[in-house]
């Protein structure tokens, strides 16, 4: 009996050692309402929230809230597809409480037929092309510099297969996703209070309107390769009008105020921009995101992603609306070979330690 007990203790210590920081876990749902179904009802609009608290030590002042990008869920930040601790673990190890959501109508947040709009799903080829094996497909400048994805990034590779199997369908329009995220995540902030918000890719489009709705609860925003550039599709869908409010599909408060986004005066900013998209900024004097002016922003872009082409335009727009933005291209701080899913790649710990976590520590202590 004793030796079995000891064996179990040793096994569980091993699990802790391999899978990161000891913590407590709870989950809950917020943002739901009941909608009629026949003579009964179904719950709709809610987000799944996973709340992790370090098992010991002094807690940091603000928790970190992760909102994942398109096709993904909160699992993105738990462990990496090759079984290493994820960014959530790093923050737990530093004393941060962590919240992870699955966006509404996605993953563990139920999609309700006849209530939610249609869904789309990324196929495996697209995922290899955009995220995991860009070096093989070479669709944009720097795609071949990608070296940090673990494994070969295509079907049949066990690490790719784990990653791809974790992906889920998403609502097909950013405007529906934007409205539903703003509703449910506002309800989340009303429940949990102040946070440091970390968005990735698509969810950046939802982070700005969330901060607009609850500016006092968002102490800082980290945006990893944010959805953009302003007003138009990126190099993957060039010349397609998008994000009419600048960097979102849902209304955001401007000063001087506008009631319709067509009131924004824009101009193409071509000087020094890379080809493949149009950088559209406001005409000066530009209107400001009046509610977000006190929220510091960090934008992080990898060396080999297609975001390297246009994230500077997104950052320029954010600065124009009055935000203080630190913009880090990973190669400029000696971190090479990453792509769009940098928080899962071989050097994910280095990125969080040297760039994202360091910045959050600094901003949290200033606020
Ligand atoms: C990736 O690895 C898998 C498993 O070994 C293999 O089946 C597949 O052909 C490899 N793909 C490429 C592009 O090398
Ligand atoms: C600005 O860019 C858009 C999109 O590429 C294009 O349709 C439009 O003609 C450009 N406007 C000017 C004034 O160059
Ligand atoms: C491509 O990589 C080089 C070398 O790190 C870097 O100087 C350049 O800014 C990158 N270009 C893009 C579009 O990301």
The domain spans of the chain are 22-366
Res 5: pLDDT = 52
Query: How far is CA 236 from each of CA 59, 134, 139, 317, rounded to the nearest angstrom?
Result: 42, 13, 9, 20
| Cβ of residue 268 lying under 6 Å from some atom of ligand 2 | yes
Report residue 175: phi and psi, to 5°.
Answer: -75, -40
| Cβ of residue 260 lying under 6 Å from some atom of ligand 2 | no
**Please, are residues 102 and 48 in contact by the beta-carbon 8 Å criterion?**
yes
| 2 alpha carbon – ligand 1 mean position (Å) | 46
* Ligand with the closest atom to the CA of 340: 3
Element of type H or E holding 282? strand 280-282
Residue nearest to atom 13 of ligand 1 (CA): 154
Could you write out the three-class secondary structure of 165-214?
A: HCCCCEECCHHHHHHHHHHHHHHHHHHHCCEEEEEEHHHHHHHHHHHHHC
| Cβ of residue 239 lying under 6 Å from some atom of ligand 2 | yes
Active site (catalytic) residues: 201
Instruction: Show the CA angle centred on residue 301, arms to residues 152 and 195, nearest 5°.
Output: 110
Residues of the chain with pLDDT under 50: 1-2, 7-17
The three-class DSSP label of residue 54 is strand
| 153 alpha carbon – ligand 1 mean position (Å) | 8
Res 367: pLDDT = 84
**Cis omega before residue 229 (within 30°)?**
yes
Res 4: pLDDT = 54
User: Which single residue is written with the structure tokens 């040297």?
Assistant: 354
The three-class DSSP label of residue 83 is coil
| 292 alpha carbon – ligand 2 mean position (Å) | 29
User: Which single residue is written with the structure tokens 């968002």?
Assistant: 218
Residue nearest to atom 5 of ligand 3 (CA): 331
| 89 alpha carbon – ligand 3 mean position (Å) | 30
From 82, 155, 156, mutation site for ligand 1 pocket: most ligand atoms within 8 A of C-beta: 156
| 152 alpha carbon – ligand 1 mean position (Å) | 6
From 141, 142, 143, 335, mutation site for ligand 3 pocket: most ligand atoms within 8 A of C-beta: 142
- What's the pTM value of the predicted model, to 2 decimals? 0.95
Assigned CATH topology for domain 22-366: Rossmann fold (3.40.50)
Residue nearest to atom 9 of ligand 1 (CA): 156
* Ligand with the closest atom to the CA of 302: 3
Separation between Cα atoms, residue 231 and residue 228, nearest integer Å: 8
């Amino acid at each position: 009996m004793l030796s079995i007990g000891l064996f179990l203790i040793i096994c569980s210590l091993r699990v802790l050692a391999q899978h990161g920081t000891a913590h407590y876990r709870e989950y809950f749902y917020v943002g739901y309402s009941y909608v009629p179904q026949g003579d009964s009802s179904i719950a709709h609009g809610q987000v799944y929230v996973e709340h992790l608290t370090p098992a010991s030590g002094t807690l940091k002042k603000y928790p970190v809230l992760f909102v994942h990008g398109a096709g993904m869920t909160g699992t993105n930040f738990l462990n990496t597809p090759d079984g290493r601790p994820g960014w959530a673990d790093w923050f737990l190890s530093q004393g941060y409480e962590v919240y992870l959501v699955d966006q509404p109508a996605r993953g563990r947040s139920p999609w309700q037929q006849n209530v939610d709009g249609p869904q789309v799903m990324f196929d495996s080829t697209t995922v290899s092309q955009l995220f995991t094996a860009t070096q093989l497909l070479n669709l944009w400048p720097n795609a071949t510099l990608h070296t940090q994805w673990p494994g070969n990034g295509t079907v049949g590779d066990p690490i790719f297969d784990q990653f791809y199997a974790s992906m889920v369908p998403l609502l097909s329009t950013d405007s529906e996703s934007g409205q539903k995220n703003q509703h449910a995540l506002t309800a989340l902030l009303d429940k949990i209070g102040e946070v440091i918000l970390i968005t990735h890719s698509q969810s950046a489009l939802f982070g700005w309107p969330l901060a607009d709705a609850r500016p006092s609860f968002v102490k800082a925003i980290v945006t990893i390769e944010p959805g953009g550039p302003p007003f138009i599709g990126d190099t993957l869908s060039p010349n397609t009008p998008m994000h009419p409010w600048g960097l979102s599909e849902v209304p955001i408060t401007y000063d001087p105020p506008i009631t319709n986004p067509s009131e924004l005066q824009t101009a193409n900013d071509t000087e020094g921009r890379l080809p493949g998209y149009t950088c559209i900024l406001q005409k000066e004097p530009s209107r400001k995101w009046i509610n977000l002016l006190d929220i510091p922003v960090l934008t992080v872009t990898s060396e080999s992603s297609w975001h390297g082409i246009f994230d500077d335009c997104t950052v320029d727009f954010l600065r124009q609306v009055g935000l203080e933005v630190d913009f880090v291209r990973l190669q400029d701080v000696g971190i090479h070979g990453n792509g769009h899913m940098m928080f899962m790649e071989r050097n994910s710990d280095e990125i969080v330690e040297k760039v994202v976590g360091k910045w959050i520590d600094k901003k949290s202590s200033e606020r």
